[in-house]
Amino acid sequence: MPDVFSICLMCTVRCPIRVRVEKDDVRLIEGNPYMEGIEGSICPKGAAGVSLLGDVQRLKNPLIRTGPRGTGMWREASWEEALDYVVERLHQIREKYGSQSIALTERTHLNSHISKTFLRALGSPNYFTHNSCCKGSLNTAFRSLTGYTDDQFGVDLKNVRYLVLYGRNYFESLELKAVKTLTRSLENGARLVYIDPRVSVTATRAHRYLMIRPGTDLALNYALMHVLINEGLYDREFVERWVAGFEALAEFVQPYTPQWAEQETGIKAAEIAELAREAAAARPRVIFHYGYRCAHYTSEIYLRRSILMLNALLGSIECPGGLFIKKTVRDVGRSPLRRLTGQELPAVKIPRCDGAAGELYPVADPEHGVVQELPRVIKEEKPYPVKGLLVWRHDPVMSIPDSQYTKEAFNNLDLLVAIDIQFSETAWLADVILPESTYLERGDSIQEVGGLKPMLVMRQPAVSPRYNTRPGWQIIKELADRLGIGQYFPYRTLEDLWNYQLEGTGISISDFARCGYVTLADQAIFQDRKDGLKFKTPSGKIEFVSSLLEKNGFPSLPPYEAVPPAPAGFYRLMVGRAAVHTHVSTQNNALLSEQLPENTLWINSAEAARLGIRDGQMVEVTSGCGQVRLKAQVTDHIHPEAVFMLHGFGHTVPAQTRSYGRGGSDAVLQENVSDRVGGSPALQHVFVTVRPL
Ligand SMILES: Nc1nc2c(c(=O)[nH]1)N[C@H]1C(S)=C(S)[C@@H](COP(=O)(O)OP(=O)(O)OC[C@H]3O[C@@H](n4cnc5c(=O)[nH]c(N)nc54)[C@H](O)[C@@H]3O)O[C@H]1N2
Ligand SMILES: Nc1nc2c(c(=O)[nH]1)N[C@H]1C(S)=C(S)[C@@H](COP(=O)(O)OP(=O)(O)OC[C@H]3O[C@@H](n4cnc5c(=O)[nH]c(N)nc54)[C@H](O)[C@@H]3O)O[C@H]1N2
Ligand code: SF4
Ligand SMILES: [Mo]
C-alpha cells in the first residue's frame, strides 16, 4: 500500500497525517507515525476525512445561480464559463465602484499568501480572514504587551507543572498534539485548574474546577494579581528586567482583593488565594493559558491581557513549562520560505472598509481585518460600497453573529463567489460556486511551522480528484490570468509553487519524501532569559502599560467594569465546540453526523424546573436577533445564569440532508457587537429567553 504523507484539513489544526492509499482510493487516514507528539494518533474528525471523497452531496462542478438567492436554483457550468463569468462581473464592479469595492474573506490557510496577493494586485485593501471572529482580541492583547501576535507564541505543555485554563476546553476543542502532550504531563504529576461556568470534559480532568459566574474571569485575575503582588510571590528578578509598568499594576490591583472577587465570581476568597499560592510555588513552569475565546465580551482585550500579565508576573515566559516565542526558519540561520506577498506589488492607498487600523478599530490587526464589520459595510455602503465578495473556505453567514442581517447584507452584493467543497450557508446564496478539490485530492503551499523546533510540512495529494474540482491556488491563478494580473502568480503546477517557495532555503521537494516534513532543529531553542529576550515593543519589554494602547487613546489598566447582568427571565448564551465536529463544516459529514446529529440547549436543573422544562423536551430560544428550536439538556453542570449550545448546527441548506434543520444555530441568536479595542465580536454579549414547546 503506498503511503502519502500529508496534512489533515478536517479542522484548522493541520495535524500531519499518513494516508494509506490503494488503487487511487483512501483506505485509512492515520496520524503521521514519525512526528514527535503525534505518533500515529488521529482524532475522530481526522479519521472521518475518508467520507469526503465519495460524498454524493459534495460540490462536483462549477455552478452558476439561475433563480433568486437562496432558492437552490443552479446550473452546472464548465470551468471556462464560470471563471469568465466571475471575471466579467469583477470588471464591471471595478469600473463602476473602483477596486476597493472587491473584498475577499477566508479562513486563513496554507495558500493565504496567494489570496492576499490577488487582492493587492487588484488594488483592493479589503482582505479579510476569520481571525477577528476567533481570536482577534487575543491577537491585539499579545501585540499590546509583547509586540508579537498570538500566532508567534506557543505553550510548552510537555514541561508544565501547573496549568490554568479559562474555558480552554482542550479535551473537546481539540489540538491533537496538545491533548496527547497534556495527558502525558498530567500522568507525570502536572496540576490542572479549569475555570468554566459549565462542566466540560476538560473540567472532569482537572484537579481544581471552578464554576465561575459567566463573564467574570477578569475579576478573578485581578484578585490573583493582588495576592501574587501583595504576598511577594511574583518573580521579582524577571519582572524587574523584563516588565514595563509593574508599579502601575501593583497600585491598580490594590482594591481588587479576593473578598471583592468572591462577590463578583462566586469563587471563595480562600480558594482564589490558594490558587495564586499554588501557581506561584510551581513557577516558572506555570501556564495561565490565554485560550482562544472563552468569555468573548466587549472587554475581552483586558481579560486576555490579564492572563498574559499573570504569566509575566510568574516569569513563565521563554522557559521550559511556560510560554515561548515560536522559533522560525530564520532562527536556525536559514532563509524563510518565499511567499507571493514578498513580491513588489502595487501599493494600495485606499483605507480599509472595516476601520481596522482606522478610526473604528485603531489597534485591530489590519493583516486580518474585522470581518464581522463586513455585513454592515455591504448593507450600508459606508464608508464606500463593497459590491463583489469572494469567500474562500469560510462561511460568514454562520460564523458572524446575526445571520439574518448577514444574509440581508449579501443581497446587496453584485457578485458573491464561494470557493468551497460543499454547500455552505454562504455558498447557497452565491452567484457562482467554484468547487475546490478536497485536501485528499490536492496539494497546497508548504507550511512553515514555528515552535521550539521549527519545521516545514507538506500537504500532498493522496488520490486524484473525484469530480470536476480544482485546487484553490489554481482557481486564483486562473482568475488572475483573466484579470491581467497573472504575472504575480509565477507558477503553473504544484511543483512550480513548491519550488518557488523553497528557492534559497537549501531544501528541496525530495527532502519531504521520507516522512512529509523537514525538521530544522534537534533541540528546543530558547532565547536567553537573562539578557537576550527580544520583545518587539518600543520599550523592548513586556508592557503592562502599553504604548500601543495608550497612543491610540485606550487605557492599559481601566477600572474593572462588570459585564451587564442578565435582566430577569433572561439567560446569558454561551457557546462552544464538541470533539467530533469542526465549527460549521462537518455537521453534514456522513460519519460525523451519525456521531452527533444535533446540538442541545444546556440549562441548569433548577431553572428548567422553574420554567417547566423536561430533559429532552423541545424548547424555543429567543434573542433580540432571532429564534431557534432545539432539545433541552437539563443538567446541574451549568451555572444557573447561563444556557449553552454547541456552535455549528441549525443548517438551512436543503441539499445537505444530514445537517438540514438539525438543532439550532448560535449565530442566529447572537448580536453583532464587538470589543472595539481588541477587534473580536462579543459572542456572549447576548441574552436569551427559553420557552418549553
Ligand atoms: N473538535 C474541535 N476542536 C477544535 C475546533 C473545532 O471546531 N472542533 N476549533 C479549533 C478552534 S478554531 C478554536 S478557536 C478552538 C477553541 O477552543 P476553546 O476556546 O477551548 O473552545 P470552545 O469550545 O469555544 O470552549 C469555550 C468554553 O468556554 C466556556 N465559557 C463560556 N463563557 C465563559 C466564561 O465567562 N468564563 C470561562 N472561564 N469560560 C467560559 C464555555 O462553556 C466553553 O466550555 O478549538 C480548536 N479545536
Ligand atoms: N456564532 C459563532 N461564530 C463563530 C464561532 C462561534 O463559536 N460562534 N467561532 C469562531 C471561530 S473560533 C472560528 S475559528 C471561526 C470559523 O469559521 P469558518 O472558517 O467559517 O468555519 P469552518 O467550519 O472552519 O469552515 C468554513 C468553510 O470551509 C469549508 N471548507 C472545508 N474544507 C475546505 C477546503 O478544503 N476548501 C475550501 N475551499 N473550503 C473548505 C467548509 O465547507 C465551510 O463552508 O468561526 C468563528 N465564528
Ligand atoms: S485535530 Fe483532528 S481534525 Fe484537526 S487537524 Fe488534527 S486530526 Fe485533523
Ligand atoms: Mo477559532
Measured from the CB, is residue 43 less than 6 Å from ligand 3?
yes
Ligand 1 atom having least distance to the Cα of 648 = 7
The confidence score (pLDDT) of residue 294 equals 61
Angle 48-50-52 from CA coordinates, rounded to 5°:
90
Residue ranges with strand state E in 554-626? 571-576, 600-604, 618-622
The confidence score (pLDDT) of residue 292 equals 83
Contact 643, 572 (CB under 8 A): yes
* Best CA proximity match to 284, nearest among 309, 314, 308: 314
Contact 309, 225 (CB under 8 A): yes
Residue range(s) of every CATH 3.40.50.740 domain in the chain: 63-134+334-519
Confidence grade of residue 296 (pLDDT, cut at 50, 70, 90):
confident
Over residues 405-423, the pLDDT tens digits come to 999 999 999 999 999 999 9
Computed over every residue of the chain, the mean pLDDT equals 97
DSSP result, 24-72: TEEEEEEE-TTSTTTTT---HHHHTTHHHHT-TTS--S-EEE-SSTTS-
Over residues 75-99, the pLDDT tens digits come to 999 999 999 999 999 999 999 999 9
Contact 117, 141 (CB under 8 A): no
**Could you say which ligand is closest to the alpha carbon of residue 299?**
1
The one-letter amino acid at 203: A
Going by the DSSP 8-state scheme, the letter that residue 660 receives in this structure is: B
Share of the chain above pLDDT 70, in %: 100
As separate numbers, helices (DSSP H) first and strands (DSSP E) second, the chain gives 22, 27
Instruction: Assign a CATH topology to domain 63-134+334-519.
Output: Rossmann fold (3.40.50)
The confidence score (pLDDT) of residue 2 equals 82
Distance CA 109, CA 446 (A): 11
**Could you say which ligand is closest to the alpha carbon of residue 290?**
1
The confidence score (pLDDT) of residue 195 equals 98
* Best CA proximity match to 432, nearest among 388, 395, 471, 397: 388
* Alpha-carbon torsion angle 178, 184, 186, 190, nearest 10: -90
Of how many residues is the chain composed? 693
Which residues, including other chains, have CB under 8 Å from residue 474's CB and lie 6 or more apart?
A: none
Measured from the CB, is residue 196 less than 6 Å from ligand 1?
yes
Average pLDDT estimate for 456-476:
98
The number of beta carbons lying within 10 Å of the beta carbon of residue 73 is 11
Distance CA 232, CA 211 (A): 28
Contact 680, 399 (CB under 8 A): no
Contact 256, 216 (CB under 8 A): no
Query: All 3 cell numbers of residue 648?
Result: 455549528
Taking CA atoms only, the protein residue closest to ligand 2 atom 7 is: 647
Over residues 182-203, the pLDDT tens digits come to 999 999 999 999 999 999 999 9
Confidence grade of residue 293 (pLDDT, cut at 50, 70, 90):
confident
Contact 190, 162 (CB under 8 A): yes
* Best CA proximity match to 414, nearest among 660, 103, 37, 27: 103
How far is residue 64 from each of residues 74, 115, 471, 532, 668, measured CA to CA in Å? Answer: 6, 22, 19, 57, 27
Measured from the CB, is residue 683 less than 6 Å from ligand 3?
no
Query: All 3 cell numbers of residue 430?
Result: 452565491
**Could you say which ligand is closest to the alpha carbon of residue 399?**
2
Measured from the CB, is residue 402 less than 6 Å from ligand 2?
no
The residue with cell 536559514 is 334
The confidence score (pLDDT) of residue 536 equals 98
Contact 429, 397 (CB under 8 A): yes
Residue range(s) of every CATH 3.40.228.10 domain in the chain: 157-321+526-551
Query: All 3 cell numbers of residue 294?
Result: 472563552
Measured from the CB, is residue 198 less than 6 Å from ligand 1?
yes
Over residues 384-412, the pLDDT tens digits come to 999 999 999 999 999 999 999 999 999 99
Measured from the CB, is residue 14 less than 6 Å from ligand 3?
yes
Distance CA 608, CA 640 (A): 9
The number of beta carbons lying within 10 Å of the beta carbon of residue 56 is 7
Taking CA atoms only, the protein residue closest to ligand 1 atom 27 is: 167
Measured from the CB, is residue 327 less than 6 Å from ligand 3?
no
Q: Which CATH class is domain 157-321+526-551?
A: alpha beta
Report the b/e string of 272-300 with b at 16+ CB within 10 A.
bbebbebbbebbbbbbbbbbbbbbbbbbb
Find the distance separating the first CA and the last CA of the chain, reported in whole Å: 54
Q: Which three-class secondary structure string do you get for 517-564? A: EEECCCCCCCCCCCCCCCCCCCCCCEECCCHHHHHCCCCCCCCCCCCC
* Most ligand 1 atoms within 8 A of CB, residue of 293, 602, 684 to mutate: 293
Contact 463, 21 (CB under 8 A): yes
The three-class DSSP label of residue 470 is: strand
For residue 312, pLDDT beyond 90: yes
The confidence score (pLDDT) of residue 249 equals 98
Measured from the CB, is residue 8 less than 6 Å from ligand 3?
yes
Query: All 3 cell numbers of residue 414?
Result: 453584485
Angle 472-476-481 from CA coordinates, rounded to 5°:
145
> Strands 571-576 and 542-543: what pairing?
unpaired
Over residues 480-509, the pLDDT tens digits come to 999 999 999 999 999 999 999 999 999 999
Distance CA 326, CA 421 (A): 32
Over residues 6-30, the pLDDT tens digits come to 999 999 999 999 999 999 999 999 9
Residue range(s) of every CATH 2.40.40.20 domain in the chain: 571-692
Distance CA 127, CA 119 (A): 7
Taking CA atoms only, the protein residue closest to ligand 3 atom 6 is: 15
- 435 beta partners: 420
Report the b/e string of 200-222 with b at 16+ CB within 10 A.
bebbebbeebbbbbbbbbbbbbb
CA of 108 to the centre of ligand 4 (A): 11
Distance CA 276, CA 19 (A): 46
The three-class DSSP label of residue 512 is: helix
> Strands 517-519 and 627-635: what pairing?
unpaired
Confidence grade of residue 204 (pLDDT, cut at 50, 70, 90):
very high
* Best CA proximity match to 648, nearest among 573, 582, 572, 592: 582
The three-class DSSP label of residue 21 is: strand
Distance CA 45, CA 596 (A): 12
Over residues 219-269, the pLDDT tens digits come to 999 999 999 999 999 999 999 999 999 999 999 999 999 999 999 999 999
CATH architecture of 571-692: Beta Barrel (2.40)
* Alpha-carbon torsion angle 438, 443, 444, 447, nearest 10: 120
Contact 168, 292 (CB under 8 A): yes
For residue 1, pLDDT beyond 70: no
Contact 535, 143 (CB under 8 A): no
* Most ligand 3 atoms within 8 A of CB, residue of 5, 6, 7, 10 to mutate: 10
The confidence score (pLDDT) of residue 607 equals 98
The confidence score (pLDDT) of residue 295 equals 65
- 542 beta partners: 243
